[in-house]
């Protein structure tokens, strides 16, 4: 079950960069804004279908927000940064840049993420302490 009012981050569960990013977000989500699921999980696939999200060209990160259907690519990353503690909300200033330019940079990284950062054989398994944050790992 998805908690009301939580924003959901869907991520590539076999990507080392994506898994590191999720750990980074968890450590800086002091307001407990986010819940997580891999794109490959049953719940991830279900959320994509329920919200009629066109995943063409989207293979690394989606942010499902309560008042908005979803954000993807650079917009998702910057919207996530807005919610974190520390200096990271300042990165949202990059939202003023044209989306095509932000996504062009994002796409270069996304296209090369396996080559540059590696790939896991299976999705990450959170520790028992973090399991409650992952909507695809609940019992």
pLDDT tens-digit series, residues 20-78: 899 999 999 999 999 999 888 888 888 888 888 877 766 678 999 876 678 999 999 99
Residue 75 belongs to some domain of the structure: yes
- pLDDT of amino acid 59: 67
How far apart (Å, rounded) are the C-alpha atoms in residues 43 and 23? 20
**35 within some domain:** yes
Q: How far is CA 64 from CA 83, 85, 86, in A?
A: 14, 20, 23
Is residue 2 in some structural domain?
Answer: no
Q: How far apart are CA 8 and CA 65, in angstroms?
A: 7
Residue 71: per-residue pLDDT: 92
61 falls within a domain: yes
* Count of domains forming the chain: 1
Q: Is residue 85 part of a domain?
A: yes
Is pTM beyond 0.75? Reply is: yes
Tell whether 139 is covered by a domain. Answer: no
- Give the domain range for residue 117: 7-133
Is there a domain that residue 112 lies in? yes
């Amino acid at each position: 079950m998805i908690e009301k009012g939580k924003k959901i981050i869907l991520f590539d569960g076999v990507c080392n960069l994506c898994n590191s990013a999720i750990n980074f977000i968890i450590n800086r989500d002091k307001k407990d804004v986010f819940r997580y699921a891999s794109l490959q999980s049953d719940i991830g696939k279900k959320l994509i279908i329920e919200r009629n999200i066109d995943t063409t060209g989207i293979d690394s990160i989606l942010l499902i927000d309560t008042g908005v259907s979803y954000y993807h690519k650079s917009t998702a990353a910057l919207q996530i940064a807005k919610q974190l503690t520390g200096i990271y909300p300042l990165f949202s200033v990059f939202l003023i840049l044209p989306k095509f330019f932000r996504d062009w940079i994002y796409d270069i990284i996304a296209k090369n993420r396996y080559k540059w950062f590696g790939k896991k054989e299976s999705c990450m398994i959170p520790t028992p302490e973090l399991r409650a944050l992952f909507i695809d790992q609940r019992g």
